[in-house]
Structure 1
């Protein structure tokens, strides 16, 4: 599952605080997927996350209008790519569980695939 998620990631995105770009994970996916899965499972069993994963680089992203006005920018948080990978795995697992057990209303369409 970890290897598949790494391959499915957008690899042109910026690295987070840890400086690890998604493209690097793709290049070493065969070597890193099992160790990452082990770390992810340990973190989930312990119920703790790395303090570094809670940090983010905040950068201003231009929206529209004059570049001289600060109102025309919005903040973007660059967090750890590995943390985002774990979050994506958890989200997919939870949504799959909820759908399979009919815990999501059939009229729910937002944030669900193929709806």
Structure 2
């Protein structure tokens, strides 16, 4: 699924909100696939929980 999205990515468009040009993103993904290595930064994420409804104290919400 990810490879399909990257394959159909329009590399003639401008950068998105992440500041990465689509052409660079495609090249990085292809190199990652060919070398079978994932950059350390790609393994990190900032997760922000968003409260939707129910008891705020219930961590399952």
State the TM-score, normalizing by the size of structure 1: 0.34
Structure 1 residue 21 and structure 2 residue 21: aligned? no
Aligned to 1:33: 22
* C-alpha separation in 2, matches of 1:60 and 1:36: 27
Does 1 or 2 have the higher relative contact order (CA < 8 Å, sep 6+)? 1
Structure richer in helix, relative to its length: 1
Runs of 4+ deviating beyond 4 Å: none
Distance 1:2 1:60, change over 3 A: same
- 1:73 CA drift (Å): 5.3
- 2:55 partner SS: coil
Aligned to 1:2: 9
State the TM-score, normalizing by the size of structure 2: 0.53
Aligned to 1:56: 45
For structure 1, the residue ranges without an aligned partner over 5 or more in a row are 7-19, 26-31, 75-115
- Residues matched between the structures, number: 52
For structure 2, the residue ranges without an aligned partner over 5 or more in a row are 1-7
